[in-house]
């Protein structure tokens, strides 16, 4: 009996061990099922949980978790995921980091304000630089956000003609026609800049009125060879013929048609004023007829530039339909008169002009073709509020308060559209302006109920509200609404570099 009992006991033990082994195996398999569901990626550097993820490319607009590793988005899922760091995004919108296709201020001060406005990539394309390599190396390892530059016709003209100006030329580069030799030097400079990875060719034709139409066409021809976009501040603003904004737009649309170069027209409202709808019609028709033309505006009713530049040469009142009182001195906020205008034109500095009708700003922002950008620059806390508040203003004032655009339309104009404009010349832009697996982890997380600009003409140096978290290449640079100290995760966004 005992023997039998022993046998039975052994049999039971074997069964028990077998069952335990079986359960153990099942649990291992279960474990690997979870891993498989996560594509084998159960461990992330950062996870963003329970946010309303909005991707303007796929139109995804749903609650998702995002897993980030090695600076890129690895997984977008409804399942639970775990990371070394986790961000609770409940009640917040998780969007691609905003791309500012028109930003002049390219130093740490400006980058701090941009990132607090949700921007992860800033591009100086209108003025550009005369030395593309030097521009990128000055910022390497020292930039909070991603940055890029074009090769600029204006700075090259200043260099070749020894013009002592700063942001804008003030001497020969403004008033002297280029000789045939100088046009060749300019062309060579542009070609070199594009070969070094410049993101197109910048033009500020209003700042260089002596540059002939032929000179500009010669520059477009260089750009046309590699389909580099020509980014243009037009030759004229306002409606006064023969130098009207319509004639100015005709000049560059025709140069694009002749040369095959793509065209991007900057800040259309601050050149067109009341004529802007006609200019948008011209651009739309050119696109319908097969030309690659894009356009941008900033969401403000005032312009800003240097008072000593050619923009304020004789005739500016008639051209722009404004007078002295419409001008505001950026440094002090004071309104100008004939006397102070003359004084400041001699000393030089930034002047704001209240010259764009609000209904023009609204209809331009609402146009599905128009990209939104800032044209921003802040210097020692002084400047135009567009440099610090543009993006929160789009999403707060024009999306939430005025319902001029839906949230997804607003986001598309500050993420996907600027990325697409540049992805031919800079394939790395294909991984920006979107949230999808494989995209760069440039991500802006904001509160859609609170987001708003705070910057004013009198006090431009004010951070926007409602930007809760910002990641640049997978590094958190804004955390719970506060700028993080240290760390420079920004990378240079460059076109294809050709070493000849």
Residues lying near Zn ion in the complex (CB under 5 A): 233
Residue nearest to Zn ion (CB): 233
In the complex with Zn ion, the residue whose CB is nearer, 93 or 246, is 246
Q: 334 with 328: CB under 8 angstroms?
A: yes
In the complex with Zn ion, the residue whose CB is nearer, 233 or 235, is 233
Interior angle at CA 287, CA 285 and CA 288, nearest 5: 65
Q: In Å, what is the CA distance from 451 to each residue of 5, 97, 313, 397, 480?
A: 77, 15, 39, 9, 13
Least CB distance from residue 463 to Zn ion, whole Å? Answer: 25
Torsion of CA 76, 78, 84, 90, to 10 degrees: 100
Q: Across-strand partners of 76?
A: 66
In the complex with Zn ion, the residue whose CB is nearer, 128 or 198, is 128
Least CB distance from residue 305 to Zn ion, whole Å? Answer: 7
In the complex with Zn ion, the residue whose CB is nearer, 139 or 233, is 233
Least CB distance from residue 184 to Zn ion, whole Å? Answer: 27
In the complex with Zn ion, the residue whose CB is nearer, 233 or 491, is 233
Q: In Å, what is the CA distance from 92 to each residue of 89, 95, 135, 445, 467?
A: 5, 10, 36, 6, 10
Least CB distance from residue 232 to Zn ion, whole Å? Answer: 9
Least CB distance from residue 272 to Zn ion, whole Å? Answer: 13
In the complex with Zn ion, the residue whose CB is nearer, 186 or 266, is 266
In the complex with Zn ion, the residue whose CB is nearer, 233 or 494, is 233
In the complex with Zn ion, the residue whose CB is nearer, 386 or 491, is 386
Least CB distance from residue 127 to Zn ion, whole Å? Answer: 8
Dist. CA 148–CA 136, nearest whole Å: 8
Least CB distance from residue 152 to Zn ion, whole Å? Answer: 12
Nearest to 177 by CA among 129, 151, 214: 214
Q: What are phi and psi of 478, to 5 degrees?
A: -125, 125
In the complex with Zn ion, the residue whose CB is nearer, 352 or 451, is 352
Least CB distance from residue 427 to Zn ion, whole Å? Answer: 27
In the complex with Zn ion, the residue whose CB is nearer, 163 or 375, is 375
Least CB distance from residue 114 to Zn ion, whole Å? Answer: 18
Least CB distance from residue 128 to Zn ion, whole Å? Answer: 12
Largest CA distance in the chain: 121
Least CB distance from residue 374 to Zn ion, whole Å? Answer: 11
In the complex with Zn ion, the residue whose CB is nearer, 52 or 233, is 233
């Amino acid at each position: 009996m005992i023997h039998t009992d022993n046998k039975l006991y052994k049999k039971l033990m074997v069964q028990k061990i077998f069952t335990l082994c079986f359960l153990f195996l099942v649990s291992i398999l279960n474990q690997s099922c979870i891993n498989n569901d996560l594509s084998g990626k159960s461990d992330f550097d950062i996870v963003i949980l329970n946010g309303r993820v909005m991707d303007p490319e796929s139109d995804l607009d749903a609650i998702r978790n995002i897993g980030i590793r090695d600076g890129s988005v690895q997984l977008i899922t409804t399942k639970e995921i775990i990371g070394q760091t986790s961000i609770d995004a409940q009640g917040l919108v998780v969007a691609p980091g905003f791309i500012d296709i028109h930003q002049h201020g390219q130093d740490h001060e400006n980058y701090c304000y941009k990132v607090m406005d949700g921007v992860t990539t800033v591009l100086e394309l209108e003025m550009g630089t005369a030395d593309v390599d030097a521009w990128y190396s000055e910022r390497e390892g020292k930039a909070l956000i991603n940055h890029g530059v074009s090769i600029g016709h204006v700075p090259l003209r200043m260099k070749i003609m020894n013009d002592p100006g700063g942001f804008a030329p003030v001497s020969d580069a403004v008033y002297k026609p280029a000789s045939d030799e100088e046009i060749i030097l300019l062309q060579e400079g542009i070609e070199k800049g594009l070969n070094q990875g410049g993101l197109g060719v910048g033009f500020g034709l209003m700042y260089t009125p002596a540059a002939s139409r032929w000179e500009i066409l010669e520059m477009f021809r260089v750009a046309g060879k590699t389909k580099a976009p020509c980014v243009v501040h037009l030759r004229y603003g306002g409606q006064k013929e023969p130098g009207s904004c319509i004639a100015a737009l005709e000049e560059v649309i025709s140069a694009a048609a002749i040369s095959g170069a793509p065209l991007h027209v900057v800040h259309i409202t601050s050149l067109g004023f009341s004529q802007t709808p006609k200019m948008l019609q011209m651009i739309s028709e050119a696109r319908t007829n097969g030309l690659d033309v894009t356009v941008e505006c900033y969401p403000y009713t005032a312009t800003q530039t240097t008072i000593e530049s050619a923009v304020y040469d004789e005739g500016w009142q008639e051209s722009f339909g404004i007078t002295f009182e419409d001008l505001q001195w950026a440094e002090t906020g004071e309104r100008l008169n004939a006397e102070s205008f003359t004084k400041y034109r001699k000393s030089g500095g930034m002047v704001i002009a209240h010259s764009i009708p609000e209904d023009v700003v609204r209809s331009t922002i609402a146009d599905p073709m128009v990209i939104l950008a800032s044209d921003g620059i802040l210097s020692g806390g002084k400047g135009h509020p567009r440099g610090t508040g543009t993006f929160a203003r789009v999403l707060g004032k024009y999306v939430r308060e005025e319902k001029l655009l839906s949230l997804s339309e607003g986001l598309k104009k500050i993420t996907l559209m600027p990325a697409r404009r540049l992805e031919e010349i800079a394939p790395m832009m294909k991984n920006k302006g979107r949230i999808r697996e494989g995209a760069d982890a440039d991500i802006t997380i904001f509160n859609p109920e609170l987001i708003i600009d705070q910057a004013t003409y009198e006090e431009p140096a004010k951070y926007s509200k409602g930007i809760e978290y910002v990641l640049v290449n997978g590094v958190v640079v804004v955390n719970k609404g506060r700028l993080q100290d240290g760390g420079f995760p920004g990378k240079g966004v460059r076109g294809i570099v050709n070493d000849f």
